[in-house]
Structure 1
Amino acid sequence: GLVRGVDSRLSPSETLENLSSAGVIAVHRCSRMVEGVKIPTESVIATFAGVVCPSEIKVWPLVFRVDAFNSRPLQCQNCWRFGHSAKACKSGSRGCACGESHAKEECPEQQEKCCLCGGAYSANCPDCPARAQEVQVLEIIDKRRCTRREAFAAVKERASCYSSAAAKCPPAMDASWTQAITAAVEKSVANAMERIMETVSTCISQVVAQAARQDCTNNGSLLEYSGINIGLALAY
């Protein structure tokens, strides 16, 4: 984990001695470059005895915050494989752009081809699947504290399980079937809307007719009532 706030004036041995009571078994002081000179910071990469990295450690009377430390992919600048540096490389030189057996600066090819996955890009491209796989390997190493070989096997097993699960999924529906289903649904919706409109139209017609009959009835009663009043007036 990355322990922050550790006195930058302490030597590596003093730092380890102070943090050992919190389960720290190894330390590496982080530094930054200032005008070509390495200046130690207050951040320390600590290796803990346990499997799980704590969120904080207590070294009386201080409490230090601990962040999970994710290792970055180390890519060889000679063969372009991951997991080692050019100084420790035992393979021959390969061109970064084409993957052929020559030094990086001597590449005569115009078209790029990754020597790790065969993609149309150079071997140091951040989008290369080999780099993504290396990130997964490092994540497993950081979490499980296992060897690189064990982490690589775990990544392969995970990919195999995913492929097996994907193979069991039903095949994608053909485009013609999709179009046929869409057309059938649209036709059903259109028929349903047509029936709804017919029903609404019938209901409106019935309401209008009933209102007209009611109006005629009311007018007839009014005329009859008016005639009675006129007759009574003449009688007087």
Structure 2
Amino acid sequence: MPPGGSFSGSPRLTLAAALAKRPGVLAVRVNHRRNIVAADASTPTCLSELLAIRELGGVPVTVREPADRRSSTGFVYGVDGDLTNAELLAGITSAVPVLSATREGASVKLRFADPLPPERVVLLGLQLRVRPVRPRPRQCQQCGRFGHVAEACQRKGACIRCGRQHLQAESCKPRCINCGGAHAADTPTCPRWQEERRVATFMAVSPAPLSRRAVKAAVREESRERPSPAPRRSLLPTASSPRSSLPAAPPAAPAEDPRDTLITNLLAALQAVIQFLPEEHPLRATCLQAIGARPGAPRSE
């Protein structure tokens, strides 16, 4: 959506009717908070016509196909040389099939045929770590809050840095409008920002559409159940204690596979979704199948 274009003043039925009258359109969904109108096309011709739309209900629009939930993206770094994209793709060995490889300077962007990228790939015998692309949380740049975009914001504009309304040139003391911390609302280290990023990540890797409200509830529940870290005790000797009395350092814990944590969190989100679905809803069966198909889950005879 270009700057200034907003569906906030357009009735849902008006927008839906403008698309539903086109041959091949099966269903239309309007989301004012995200400033998005989605339509399901039944034929390639209908899809091509929808992608050519530049105006809807008097609002200028940008149309694109939805992201493929069955794929994921990651980066590998420190790839020197002058290999072409085709040579890079042919030289990669991966536990997850690689759909494409695109060089961006000394880094390579990889697209994988799975919602979760592998931890590592091998390029011409060299093992490289994959840095998965994590989506940024949806945050309004007008009010600083999460869950909607500026074009759909119904609040008065506020300073992202302090949350107050004042002249742009006026200096201010940072205070997050979301958590109350001494930082701007769009600071990545903000606990609410991190929470919203986890919500966005779970929704992006889910093979089926999930309710943002249900995923957010699952993330917050998990955060409440997670034990707080024990206070760290200084290992430096005091003036009254000899150096030889230092306690031995505890053995290092084995590295935890991040995919296990992500799968656990995703299953928790699916379980939260089931609570909001009626018995006859088709998505309920899909969620139950996904939970039952997880590694180590008991199978019914």
Normalised by the shorter chain, which TM-score bucket? Answer: 0.3 to 0.5
Q: TM-score, normalised by structure 2?
A: 0.35
Q: TM-score, normalised by structure 1?
A: 0.43
